Amino acid sequence: MKKFEEKTITSERIYEGKVINLKVDEVSLPNGHTSKRELVEHPGAVALIALTPEGKLILVEQYRKALERSIIEIPAGKIEKGEEPSYTAMRELEEETGYTAERLELIQSFSTSPGFADEIIHVYGAIGLKKSESGAILDEDEFVDLLEVTIEEAEQMMKDNRIFDAKTAFAVLWAKQHLVNENSQALRL
Amino acid sequence: MKKFEEKTITSERIYEGKVINLKVDEVSLPNGHTSKRELVEHPGAVALIALTPEGKLILVEQYRKALERSIIEIPAGKIEKGEEPSYTAMRELEEETGYTAERLELIQSFSTSPGFADEIIHVYGAIGLKKSESGAILDEDEFVDLLEVTIEEAEQMMKDNRIFDAKTAFAVLWAKQHLVNENSQALRL
């Protein structure tokens, strides 16, 4: 886990923001040379692979300023300070989709951009979905469309690049592999 | 593609670096409110799903300063200015692994962190791998270990979080689904 470790010599904080920070570290390489690393700090996030009782995958469409377009993603959200990731996941599921889950199971955690960012996403499978009485609860400045699609429709969205982010691409492949069978409404976890 | 568009009111450049830039945009939301977006610019990257003639997946282990640990990934690299992604992919395959490919096929492009970064990774499948005469050609400041593993070994590495990034998690699921059969050395593209 520490193979080829790069030791920090100096660390300069460039920016501290609402969501991300930026620092530039000078590091010593295994051969004694030095180099610079531009590093983004992010609080981490959760994402959810959630099938409705009808066996459809829940997706959300939203505008992503970084890409200057809207894309279709699995439900996700940033971890707030002090939150357990599983709590964040349950909260995001309810707020963003209007569904509650009997339980969540961690499927995989991964770094999104290990070359420059420390963001880690925890991907949960949501078991036993039910519509909540309140429905989705969005912030007044949050603009999100809810979609429920078959795995085949999600695969087509990947081909069309309407699904266009790594966590959702992973989720579509994972859901396809873990559907108990083609007519099933449940994931095999 | 422009649903819920956030129009730029002002854009402030905070940092211009070797690999990434940082800007903060003030945007107008669909309801007329304004908000800030902290955005990282990145040149984009390529990654490769490459099986050896023996049917093993080629992986590289390297230290990732952002995570303060080493992780195991599919071969990947940044797109240099003016490069076609497919050219970058062929170059990275040869330099990082010491294999050449008969041809590459684009499997999927995706954004890694749509919430704050414009980085897009193009994932290619490499067809017809052969060992090059020169072997891997690493920069003197590049420290990378080459691994060749079965899909089952790669799946275990995901469980152990030694494989710990989104593109490689996607690649392992994809390779498993597209092996022609369990004893095959080829991918079905």
Contact A65 B37 (CB under 8 A): yes
**Residues A67-102: pLDDT tens digits?**
999 999 999 999 999 999 999 999 999 999 999 999
Q: Read off the pLDDT of each residue in A6-18 and give the average, rounded to a whole number.
A: 98
pLDDT band at residue A117, thresholds of 50, 70 and 90?
A: very high
- The residue annotated as part of the active site, out of B54, B102, B133, B140, is B140
Looking at the structure, tell me whether residues A102 and A79 fall in a common domain: yes
Contact B177 A177 (CB under 8 A): yes
**Which range of residues forms the domain containing residue A21?**
7-41
Q: Which residues contact B138 (CB under 8 A, 6 or more apart)?
A: B95, B96, B144
Whether the pLDDT of residue A61 is over 90: the answer is yes
Question: How many domains does chain B fold into?
Answer: 2
Whether the pLDDT of residue B7 is over 80: the answer is yes
Contact A39 B140 (CB under 8 A): no
Instruction: List the single residue in A30, A113, A177 with the smallest CB-CB distance to B112.
Output: A113
Q: Which of A18, A105, A111 to mutate to test the interface with B (most CBs of B within 10 A)?
A: A111
Looking at the structure, tell me whether residues B136 and B94 fall in a common domain: yes
Whether residue A12 lies inside any domain: the answer is yes
Instruction: List the single residue in A17, A27, A112 with the smallest CB-CB distance to B38.
Output: A17
pLDDT band at residue B91, thresholds of 50, 70 and 90?
A: very high
Looking at the structure, tell me whether residues A37 and A49 fall in a common domain: no
pTM of the model: 0.95
pLDDT recorded at residue B53: 87
b/e code A92-119 from CB counts within 10 Å (16+ = b): bbbbbbbbbbeebeebbbbbbbbbbbbb
**Residue B140 a catalytic site member:** yes
**Residues A119-171: pLDDT tens digits?**
999 999 999 999 998 888 998 999 999 999 999 999 999 999 999 999 999 99
Looking at the structure, tell me whether residues B94 and B153 fall in a common domain: yes
Looking at the structure, tell me whether residues B18 and B111 fall in a common domain: no
Looking at the structure, tell me whether residues B66 and B12 fall in a common domain: no
DSSP 8-state symbol, B165: B
Contact B2 A69 (CB under 8 A): yes
pLDDT band at residue B181, thresholds of 50, 70 and 90?
A: low
Q: Read off the pLDDT of each residue in B169-189 and give the average, rounded to a whole number.
A: 76
Whether the pLDDT of residue A185 is over 70: the answer is no
Residue B172 in tokens: 């392992």
Question: Cβ(B41)–Cβ(B119) under 8 Å?
Answer: no
Whether the pLDDT of residue A63 is over 70: the answer is yes
**Residues B16-36: pLDDT tens digits?**
999 999 999 999 999 999 999
Round to whole Å and give the CA distance between A10 and A84: 31
Contact B111 A140 (CB under 8 A): no
**Residues B149-178: pLDDT tens digits?**
999 999 999 999 999 999 999 999 999 998
pLDDT recorded at residue B179: 76
Distance from CA of B29 to the nearest CA of A (A): 7
Distance from CA of B134 to the nearest CA of A (A): 23
**Residues of A with Cβ-Cβ distance to B166 under 8 angstroms:** 110-112, 121, 166-167, 170
Looking at the structure, tell me whether residues B30 and B50 fall in a common domain: no
Looking at the structure, tell me whether residues B70 and B163 fall in a common domain: yes
Whether residue A119 lies inside any domain: the answer is yes
